[in-house]
């Protein structure tokens, strides 16, 4: 009951926070966690407080749900149940980690967020888009990202990178076939086209530093104020 009371109000009220909320999205092995780290370092060097986090997870309650999802234990329940679990994890993540940080003026960078549910459970899981929208309305509410960076790489290249990283232990979604990952890439690209005011598609080929430079350009263009831009040039 206590957790429910805690989670009911903040998402319904308008966010008055000064902090900025950035998310990284994309397929497997596109470099989201590396780019999350590099962007956080760069923003901190500008004197900003930055909180990095990830989904599924990012709070103790959500990390417990992460285990259920990525072990494949929830797969037999179907995409609808998985979407509900991702949403439950997200609600806790927002309440415990994201909103408190944004409200004190920190910048929050999340490695995946609600767009992953739209794409993995919505597009790939064939769930009714109205169901996904309804879930987003009740879990995310006003806590929408100010900027979403979608890292784009051919499915084969991303999977090869992910396999090199995790060895034989592919998780629930990495273990899907190549066609799944191709459709995933297309769905993320379509999302970037549909929401150009929030999303920037970033070519994730090449060295981490060159991808980070493209990310930084997008952040500078969309979010940094004039004085911070001058620091950037100097």
Burial class, 204, CB count within 10 angstroms (exposed 0-12 / middle 13-18 / buried 19+): buried
Applying CB under 6 A, which of residues 120, 199, 204, 214 lies at the interface with ligand TYD? 120
> Which is nearest to 85 in space by CA: 96, 71, 99?
71
3-state secondary structure of 42: helix
Residue 185 structure tokens: 């890439």
Q: Cα–Cα distance between 174 and 107 in angstroms, integer? A: 30
Applying CB under 6 A, which of residues 28, 92, 95, 152 lies at the interface with ligand TYD? 28
Residue 16 or 126: the one with the smaller Cβ distance to ligand TYD is 126
The stretch among 42-50, 53-61, 92-100, 128-136 that binds ligand TYD (CB under 6 A) is 53-61
> Which is nearest to 152 in space by CA: 24, 14, 10, 11?
24
**Residue 86 is a binding residue for ligand TYD (CB under 6 A):** yes
Binding mask 161-180 for ligand TYD (x = CB under 6 A): ----------x-x-------
> Which is nearest to 162 in space by CA: 151, 119, 225?
151
The stretch among 3-11, 109-117, 145-153, 192-200 that binds ligand TYD (CB under 6 A) is 109-117
**Residue 116 is a binding residue for ligand TYD (CB under 6 A):** yes
**Interface residue list for ligand TYD (CB under 6 A):** 28, 32, 54-56, 70, 86, 112, 116-117, 120-121, 171, 173
């Amino acid at each position: 009951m206590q957790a429910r009371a805690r989670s009911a109000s903040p998402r319904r009220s308008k966010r008055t926070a000064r902090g900025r909320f950035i998310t990284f999205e994309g397929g497997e092995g596109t470099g989201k966690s590396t780019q999350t780290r590099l962007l956080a370092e760069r923003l901190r060097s500008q004197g900003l407080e930055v909180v990095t986090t990830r989904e599924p997870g990012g709070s103790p309650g959500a990390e417990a749900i992460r285990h259920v999802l990525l072990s494949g234990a929830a797969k037999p329940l179907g995409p609808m149940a998985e979407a509900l679990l991702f949403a439950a994890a997200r609600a806790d993540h927002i309440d415990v980690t994201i909103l408190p940080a944004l409200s004190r003026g920190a910048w929050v960078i999340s490695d995946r967020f609600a767009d992953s549910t739209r794409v993995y459970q919505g597009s790939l899981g064939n769930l009714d888009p109205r169901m996904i929208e309804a879930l987003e309305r009740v879990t995310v509410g006003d806590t929408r990202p100010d900027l979403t960076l979608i890292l784009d790489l051919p499915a084969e290249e991303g999977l090869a990178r992910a396999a090199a990283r995790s060895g034989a232990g592919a998780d629930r979604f990495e273990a899907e076939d190549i066609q799944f990952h191709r459709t995933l890439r297309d769905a993320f690209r379509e999302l970037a086209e549909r929401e150009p005011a929030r999303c920037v598609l970033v070519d994730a080929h090449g060295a981490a530093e060159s991808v980070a430079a493209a990310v930084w350009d997008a952040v500078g263009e969309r979010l940094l104020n004039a004085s911070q831009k001058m620091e950037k040039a100097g």
